[in-house]
Chain A
Amino acid sequence: MGYKEHFNVRPADLPAPPQAAMQILRACARKEVNNKQLAELAAQDPVLSTELLRIVNSAYFNMPSDIKSVNRAVSILGQRALRNLVLCISVRDSVRHNALPDFDIGGFWEDTLRHAVAARLLAEQTGLDADECFTAGLLQDFSLLVMCFIQPAKAKSWEDLRKLDPEQRYQREQQVFGITHDNLLQLLCQTWSLPEELSNVLGSHHNCNTEQLNDKGTSMCQVLYLGDWMTAVFTARATGECLRRYQFLADRLIGLKQEQADACLAAMPEQVERSAETLGLNISQQPEFEDILTQANKRLAEENMSYQELTWKLESALAEQDRLSAALDQELQIAREIQTGLLPAQQDPSFPVSGYNQSAHELSGDFYDYFKLPDGRIYFNLGDVSGKGITAALMMAKTSSLFRCLGKNETNPARLLATISSELAETMVRGMFVTLTCGLYDPANDQLKLVNAGHPPALLIADQGEVKQLGASGPPLGIMPDCQYEIETLALNDARLYLFSDGLIEGEYAPGKVLGVSGLAKLLHKLHDREADELINILFSQFMTQSDTLKDDITLVMLENRTPNA
C-alpha cells in the first residue's frame, strides 16, 4: 500500500535516522558494499560509532575480548547484525530528543521491547533469524509513536490503545489516527530504505496470508502477530482473554504447545530488562510472569462469568428486538394496506384520468385521487406531504379524506383548497405542509379548472409538443389559514395534462442524472402516443432500474380527453 492512500501522512512528516545511520541502512540495502565501507560510514558519526561499540561490548554479545573498532565489530557481527543494531539505535534516538508532554515514553519502550523480545523468543522456537525478528519487533509499534508525534493532541490515546487486545487496538487506531500501525510502518520502511522483505512483513503482520510474502515472510508475520498477543498479556485490560487467545494462536499458527508458549511468556520480563540495559533505555522493573499468570487466570474466571451473563442478556435483548420489529412490520403492513385503499380504484379505459404511485418506503407521503361528481364532472388531485414515514402518511390520509369529503359539495376548486388549507393549519404540527395540485374537469365541454397550491408545475403537453407549465398560485396547504388560490381555466383539446410529485423531477432517471421539469416534459412528449398504462410502466421502470430502492416516492396523474368524438 503506497503512502498516497494515506492522505494524513506525508513522508516529510516522518522522523529520519541520523545521516550516518541512514547511509549505513542504505548501504546495507545494496549487495556490493563491504565491511570497510560500512565502518567508514559509521566513523563519520562519533556518537553512533561509540554507541555501536558500547552495545557490541555489552554483556548481551558476550565477546571474548574488547572490540575497539567498528571495522572489527562489523567483521565479527556481520552486516545484517550491524544493520539491526543501527536500526535499534536509530529508533531509540529518533524520539529521545523530542519528548512528548503527557506521553509515558518509559511505558512505550517497555511495550516496544516486549514486542522485540517476544518476536525473538518465538523466532528461536521456529528457527527464524532471532536478531532479525527482534529488530522487526522493535519496529512493530514504532509507527504508533510516530503517529503520536504527527498528531500530538492524540498522543494521550496511546495509553488507552495499549489496554486493548491487538484486534480491538487495530480498529481503534484507524478511528483515532486515521491509519493503522502496519500501514504507516510500510511508509516508514520506504523512507528509511529498509529492505522490501522487512517492509512487507511489517506491513502485513495483521494479514499474514497475503500473496506478497514468501514462506519465511509468512512465518515472520505470524511471529510478529503472536508477539502482539504476548505483549497484550502484559498490558491489556482483558489479560485472561489475551492469554487464552495467545495460547490458541501459538498452537495453530506455529505449532507451539501450551507449555512452550507459556515458557516464552515466562522468559519475557527478564529479557526485556536485559535488552533495555543493552540498548540504554530506562524502563521500570518488570513484573514476574507468575504474577501475571495468576492475575490472568483470576481475570479469566471473572471474564468467563461476565461473558456468560452478557451473552444471556444479549440473547434476550435480541429476542425482544425481533418480537418488536415483527410487531412493527405487521403494523406497517396494515397501514400500507389502508393507505393503498385510499388511492382510487382503476376505472374503465374511457375514464379520462389515470394515476400511479410508487412508494420509496413502506408508507408514502405522496397521494393522488379522482372521483366523479353527480353532474359528470371529475375532481382529481395529486399531493405531496413534507416529511416521510408515519407522520407523512397520517397527514396524507387526512388531506386526501378532506378533499374527497369537502369536494363533493364544493365545486370551486380554489375555495376547496383554501378551506382544506385552513382546516389543516389548525392541527398541523412541526411546520408540516402539503403541496397539492387539483383540477375539476368537465368531459362534456372539455373544460378544465386547475389550482396549484405550492406544488411543482403541472405540465400541459399538446400533441405537437407545445408545453405549458402551470405553476403554483398560492402556498402549500396547512401553513396558515385564509390562503388565496387562483383558478386557471383551459381546454384540453388534444393535449395531455400531467401532475407529478418531485420524485419524478429530482429522482435519478439515468445514472447521476435527474430530469428536471423540462426534461420530464420532453420525455413525456416522446411518449405521447402511448396508452396511459404503457407510458406509466415505461417511465416508472426506468426509475426503478436506477437503484434497487427508490429514494423518493414517485407519483403521476395523467388527464386526457377520451371521449370517442374527441
Chain B
Amino acid sequence: MEIKKRNEAGHSIISLIGEVDLHYSPRAREEILNTLKDKQNVLIDLSDVSYIDSSGIASLVEGYQLSKKAGQSFGLLNISNAAMQVLKLARLDSVFPIYSNIDEIQN
C-alpha cells in the first residue's frame, strides 16, 4: 500500500493506494488520525484501492467517529469498485459521506 497526501479546496486529501489490509491499515490509520489532529477537514481518496479488509474499514470508521466528535468534516472520495463493493455489502455506504469528485463538496 502507498499513501499520498495533497491539499485541495480546503481539504486534506489522503489517497490510499493498493491493498489496505491487516498489514498496512495501521499506517493508513496513523495518517488519518494525524491529519485529523491537525484540525483539518479530511477526505480519503479510495480511487486506487484494489482491496480493503475489515481492518482497513475500521481505520475509516475510526476517522469518521473522531471527526464527528471534533466537528470536522470527513468523507470518502472517488471510491474504486473493489472498495465500493465492500462498503455496499456492509451497508457502510449509508454511513460515510461519499463524493465522486471534489466539486460535489463545494456545492
Q: State in angstroms the CA–CA spacing of A479 and B87 once bound together.
A: 13
Which residue of A has the minimal Cβ distance to B62?
A: A431
Contact of B92 among A456, A473, A475 (CB under 8 A): A475
Which residues of B does A touch, CB under 8 Å?
A: 22, 29, 54-55, 57-65, 68, 89-92, 94-95
Contact B91 A387 (CB under 8 A): no
Report the minimal beta-carbon distance from A117 to chain B, rounded to whole angstroms: 50
Contact of B95 among A384, A430, A480 (CB under 8 A): A480
Chain A stretch 256-279: residues in CB contact (< 8 A) with chain B: none
Contact A454 B58 (CB under 8 A): no
Report the minimal beta-carbon distance from A267 to chain B, rounded to whole angstroms: 56
Report the minimal beta-carbon distance from B55 to chain A, rounded to whole angstroms: 6
Q: State in angstroms the CA–CA spacing of A453 and B65 once bound together.
A: 18
Report the minimal beta-carbon distance from A428 to chain B, rounded to whole angstroms: 8
Q: State in angstroms the CA–CA spacing of A475 and B57 once bound together.
A: 12
Contact of A431 among B61, B89, B90, B91 (CB under 8 A): B61
Contact B91 A474 (CB under 8 A): yes
Known A-B contacts A430-B62, A431-B65, A480-B95; the reply to A471 vs B89 at CB < 8 A is: yes
Which residue of B has the minimal Cβ distance to A471?
A: B89
Q: State in angstroms the CA–CA spacing of A234 and B55 once bound together.
A: 53
Known A-B contacts A386-B55, A472-B90, A475-B91; the reply to A431 vs B22 at CB < 8 A is: no
Q: State in angstroms the CA–CA spacing of A387 and B53 once bound together.
A: 9
- Provide the residues of chain B in CB contact with A430, threshold 8 Å: 29, 58, 62
Chain A stretch 429-472: residues in CB contact (< 8 A) with chain B: 430-433, 435, 453-457, 471-472
- Provide the residues of chain B in CB contact with A471, threshold 8 Å: 89
| A388 interface hit (Cβ, 8 Å) | yes
What are 5 pairs between A and B in contact, CB < 8 Å?
A431-B63, A432-B61, A471-B89, A474-B91, A479-B61
- Provide the residues of chain A in CB contact with B65, threshold 8 Å: 431, 479-480
Q: State in angstroms the CA–CA spacing of A471 and B22 once bound together.
A: 25
Q: State in angstroms the CA–CA spacing of A29 and B85 once bound together.
A: 65
Interface centre among A387, A454, A456 (most CB of B within 10 A): A454
Known A-B contacts A430-B62, A479-B95; the reply to A387 vs B89 at CB < 8 A is: no
- Provide the residues of chain A in CB contact with B61, threshold 8 Å: 431-433, 479
- Provide the residues of chain B in CB contact with A480, threshold 8 Å: 65, 68, 95
| A507 interface hit (Cβ, 8 Å) | no
- Provide the residues of chain B in CB contact with A475, threshold 8 Å: 90-92, 94-95
- Provide the residues of chain B in CB contact with A431, threshold 8 Å: 29, 57-65
Contact of A387 among B55, B64, B90 (CB under 8 A): B55
| A137 interface hit (Cβ, 8 Å) | no
| A476 interface hit (Cβ, 8 Å) | yes
Contact A388 B90 (CB under 8 A): no
Contact B62 A476 (CB under 8 A): no
